[in-house]
A and B are shown apart, each in its own frame.
Chain A
C-alpha cells in the first residue's frame, strides 16, 4: 500500500513562528503536492514538486515556501505564521504520468496559529 505520512496530526504555533510541515511518501513517486483545506473552499494547491529540488507555485503560494531535497520528502514552510494560515494541510503524491494516475493523500495536519 502506498503511504503518505505527514509528521504531525495537530500543531499549535504562535504568530510569527517559523513552521515546518513534513511529508514523506514510500512509493518512489515523482510528484508531490501541498494543499490547504478550509470549510466551504475545498482543497487549494499551495505548491507542488515534480522532481528533487524542483518546485512550482500553485494557486495560493503567498506566505509559504517548500523544500524537496530528497525524492521521498516534501516540506512546507511557513516563514512567519499568521492566524489566517490556520487550516488543515494535506500532502499528496503521485507518479510522474499525471494523466490518470492515482493521487494519494496523507492524513492531514491541523495547524492552529494563535
Chain B
C-alpha cells in the first residue's frame, strides 16, 4: 500500500532557530516528491517539487532533500520566523495509477517568540 509518513507530528521552536521535518514513503513507482505549506484554514501552497534525479532543492529559507534509495525526504527551515507556523505536508506522486498524489498527514510547526 502506498504510504507517506511524516515526523514529528508536531513541533514547537523559538523564532530564529532552525528545524528539520522528516518524510518517509513507500510509494511506487516514484515520480516526484513535493512539500506543501498549509496555513491554518487555508489551502496548501507548494514549496518544492523534486524528481528522482534531484537530491536537494531550495526555496528561500526552505531546503528539501531527497534520498530515493532510502525513500526519505527532509525539509529544513533556516532562521525560522513566526510566519513559518503552519502545517507542512509531504506529498509523493506515482507514475502509475493515473499519476496519483499520496499525501502525508503533515507536521504542525509552531514558531514562538
Which residues of A are interface residues toward B (Cβ below 8 A)?
4, 9, 40-45, 56, 90, 92, 98-100, 102-108, 110
Contact = CB atoms under 8 A, between A and B. Distances in A.
B43 A100 contact: no
6 contacts: A4-B43, A41-B105, A43-B44, A45-B100, A56-B98, A110-B41
B101 A103 contact: yes
A40 B103 CA distance: 11
A99 B99 contact: yes
B105 A40 contact: yes
B46 interface: yes
Contacts of A4: 43
Contacts of B93: 98-100
Interface residues of B, number: 24
Given A99-B32, A100-B31, A100-B49, A105 B43 contact: yes
A9 B42 CA distance: 9
Nearest to A58: B100
A102 B46 CA distance: 8
Given A40-B105, A99-B95, A108 B43 contact: yes
Nearest to B100: A45
B32 A106 contact: no
A90 B89 contact: no
Given A103-B34, A107-B43, A110-B41, 10 more contacts: A43-B44, A43-B101, A90-B43, A98-B98, A99-B31, A99-B32, A99-B99, A100-B51, A105-B44, A108-B42
B101 A107 contact: no
A46 B4 CA distance: 18
Nearest to A38: B105
Contacts of A45: 100-101
B46 to A, nearest CB: 6
A92 B43 CA distance: 9
A20 to B, nearest CB: 19
Nearest to B99: A98
B103 A42 contact: yes
Given A42-B105, A100-B32, A105 B100 contact: no
